Structure formats: structure tokens, C-alpha cells
Chains A and B, each alone.
Chain A
């Protein structure tokens, strides 16, 4: 039983070689981190000859116990989530509108929607947020929400359209045949299936949206990225690495949780169309990997075949 299509189940020689390679690899990575640690920890001499303590010196971390620091990061995290949540709702709503407009019966609606969509999709989110902020004077929170909602809405709209397009023609024909209007066919038959099929893509896009809330930095919205800067101004610039490390950890936690959630939902309610066959047992590579089937456990090939 081979664990991957691409290579044989390794024999004793290859297993040994792979183990050695793994150990060497791990050592190299550890060495890299030790080197980074030492570089960061080393005290530095700045331009005017004064010696600054290293990055891991207690004097750079003594604020970690302060309540107001955590309060500010707590607020910032809430602000980030508040913006992401409303922008996500807006993005899905706009996405539905876009996909509807692009599949309209009337040519002029299709053309107008396509032009708007290309425009929104083609310019940086940063420019969009800035645009809403300056032109509509929407305030920092709403310009972030609208900018992110529009941009991600365009992408979700395209995903939904692709989803509708990939449905079997018979779905629409059946809807029309039983006397539903084209609008009702779309709303009751096509859209729900397309939404379900595209859910993994939509969720992945919402993770992107969460990350992109950091761009509201540009309009001084007090979210996480801005707070990193603000805090190192407030508490003193010697804490800048500390602030960065905290912000980094918060972002990573938020986004990894979101990604994990997205993957969880995708696995539970992913594309179920055309799944005529019963679940074939998939022992290797859970995420639809086909030609490259990665072993489920990271120690795959060196595991004895079960």
C-alpha cells in the first residue's frame, strides 16, 4: 500500500535517508531561529555611540504587565472584528447584487455591472478606502467598511456567478418549465445551489477581508495595525518590537481561527452537487488533492503501513 501516487512506499534505505534529511532540516531551521534570536537579543550601538539593550532585554518587555496596554489592544481587536463583521455582511450583499446583475436578461444591466465590477476589482483596496474617505467623507469606520465591502463583494460576486454557471442547465430549465419566472428560478433554484457550492471560496475571501481591515490604517481607524504604531508612540519607541510581536500574535490567532473555521465549514458543506457516488474512503490527502496526494500525517512516508 503506497501512501502517495507519486512515489513508492519508501523502503528501509529511503526511510533512513528521509529521517536523516528531516533531522538535518530541523537542525537548520533551529539554527536559523537561534541566529535570529541572537541577532535580536544583541545590544546595539546606535549612531551617537549610546548602547541600546537587546530586543529581549527585560527593559523592553516590562510593560507587558500593564493593564492599559492590554486594554488598548483589546479595543483594537474589537475594532478590527467590528469592521470585518459589517464589511463581510456588506460584501456578501454586494456580491449577490453583482452576480445578479452579471446574469441579467437585459444587456445594458450586464454591461453596466461588468464595467463597475472591473473597476472595483482592478484597483487596490487601499485606494478604494481612500477614495470613499475623501470623496464621500464617510468617516474612518464607514470608509473602511464600504471600501472592503465593495472590493470583496466584487470578488464574491464573480465566485457566485461562476457557481451559477457551473450548475447543470437542467436546473434552470426545470425551474422555468414548472412556471417560475426567471427571477424566481434564479432566487429559488440556482442561487441557493451556487451559494452552497461556492461557500469555501466565499469564506476564504472573508479571511482576506479580515486581513485587509489592517488597510483602514490609512484613514486612521484605530484597529490593530494602527494601534501597534500608536502604542509604540505612547509607551515609547523602545517598545516597538514588543508591540509588533503582540500585534503579530493577535493577527495570527484571529486569522488562523478564521481559516480553520472556513476549512471546517467547507469540509462539512462543500460542493455536494454531482456527488452521485457514496463517499469513497479517502485515506490520503483530505483536501481534494488528486495527483499529489499528501499523506495525512506529516511523518507519512516513514510511518509503517497500517
Chain B
């Protein structure tokens, strides 16, 4: 028992640093993925065929490649291309690129959830493309987009752990080190890390659930 408490006290500073790093990865790549995702989603519904095609290919390729490979690309191929970026930045690029198609798909599915009659009604009273989208479809879609979007960010939280394999001293990497430093308290050290991840994902999940319930009532 003593060595468990000792181990937990001992790893706390490193875990705290790792936790902050994980939150940073989540916040920055989450914002980046949201911006890129909105861009891709817009391209996918745009009237210009080449943009649609580009967005489709982008989504299909990135969604069908493991995150590990995307990060490997950032860690191995980007330096070959002559980037001398910090590993933290490389991890951010990888996570952003990997998450953005999921954001785009969440947005698109929210758009698809708006009944077609809404768009038809808007068109029939004479609204154009921009008006239909910004005044009628988007406000309704926004509510429905939030829960799946939060789920994407929950997935991103968990995915930040993969960045630990390669580059960054985030929570998983600290856990990996802690299990080696404290072979007598492996289980407690692992559960400690799990609880820290849950401290991010469970509240996010609760928020998503609450919003989902409200949206259902409103419809």
C-alpha cells in the first residue's frame, strides 16, 4: 500500500505536466480541425465540382488511414520535405489533419438532418443559395451539429495519446515512463492516468448528452 501511495505522489508532477500537454494538443488541434473541417464541409456542398471532388478525396483518404500513419507521415516525411518544425507542432499538424474530415462529416450529417422541406420552403419563397443556407438551413443544423462535434473532440482527446508514441511528452508518454519507474504499482499508475483522461472525456460526453436531449425536445 505504501509503495502505491508513494508511486502516485511521485508521478503526480509528471502526470500534471502531461495532462497540460494533452489539453494543449486538444485545444489547438481541435480549433485547427474545426476550421479546416468547416472549410472542407463547405467545399463538399459547394456548386463547384472540382472543389467537391477535392473535398471528397481528402475526406476519404484521411478517414481511411490510421492516425498512427498520419503521425508517422508528419514525423518522418515532413522532415524529409525540409521542415525543421518542433515535434509538438508536427503532432499538432497530424492531429489537425486527421480530425478535420471527421469534423466535416459531423457538420455535413447535421446539414442532412434538416428536413428537406425547410430548404424547399426557403427556395419557394424566393431565397437564393446563400440566403437558404445562412438563414434557414444553418441555424437549424448548428444545433444538431454540436453533439456529434463534441463526440469528435472526445475522440480527439483520446487520439492525442498516439502523439505520445512519437513526439510529445503528453499524458500517455508520462504513463509509459511511470510504469517503468514503478513496476510495483503498475495498476495504480495506469488507473491514475485513465482517471485523468476520464476527467476530460466524461464531462464532454455529459455536455453532448445534455445538448442532444434539448435538441430532441425542440424539434
Chain A residue at minimal CB-CB distance from B116: A290
> Which of B4-12, B27-35, B49-57, B85-93 contacts its partner?
B49-57
Contact B81 A40 (CB under 8 A): yes
Residues of B within 8 A of A298 (CB): 49, 52-53, 56
The A-contacting residues of B in range 89-109, CB under 8 angstroms, are 108
Contact B198 A291 (CB under 8 A): no
Residues of B within 8 A of A305 (CB): none
> CA A264 – CA B45 in complex, angstroms?
23
How many Å from the CB of B199 to the closest CB on chain A? 9
Most chain B CB inside 10 Å of its own CB: which residue of A36, A122, A225: A122
How many Å from the CB of A142 to the closest CB on chain B? 17
Number of residues in B with C-beta < 8 Å to the partner? Answer: 67
Contact B116 A293 (CB under 8 A): yes
> CA A247 – CA B71 in complex, angstroms?
13
Known: A26-B50, A302-B49. A126 touches B80 (CB 8 A): no
How many Å from the CB of A292 to the closest CB on chain B? 5
Contact B82 A39 (CB under 8 A): yes
| Interface size classification for chain A | 35 or more
> CA A5 – CA B112 in complex, angstroms?
12
How many Å from the CB of B217 to the closest CB on chain A? 16
How many Å from the CB of B167 to the closest CB on chain A? 14
Question: Beta-carbon contacts of A121-144 to B below 8 Å, as 1s and 0s?
Answer: 111111100110011000000000
Residues of B within 8 A of A212 (CB): 66
> CA A212 – CA B120 in complex, angstroms?
41
Question: Beta-carbon contacts of B172-191 to A below 8 Å, as 1s and 0s?
Answer: 10011001000000110010
B143 within 8 A of A: no
Chain B residue at minimal CB-CB distance from A293: B116
Question: Beta-carbon contacts of B60-81 to A below 8 Å, as 1s and 0s?
Answer: 1101111111001100110011
Q: Which of B65, B164, B194 contacts A131 (CB 8 A)?
A: B194
Q: Which of A22, A213, A241, A292 contacts B45 (CB 8 A)?
A: A292
> CA A6 – CA B124 in complex, angstroms?
11
Residues of B within 8 A of A39 (CB): 81-82
Known: A39-B81, A244-B73, A291-B115. A123 touches B158 (CB 8 A): yes
Residues of A within 8 A of B132 (CB): 6
Chain A residue at minimal CB-CB distance from B193: A127
Contact A10 B123 (CB under 8 A): no
Known: A6-B129, A255-B65. A21 touches B161 (CB 8 A): no
4 pairs of A and B residues whose beta carbons are closest in the complex: A25-B50, A255-B64, A22-B50, A214-B66
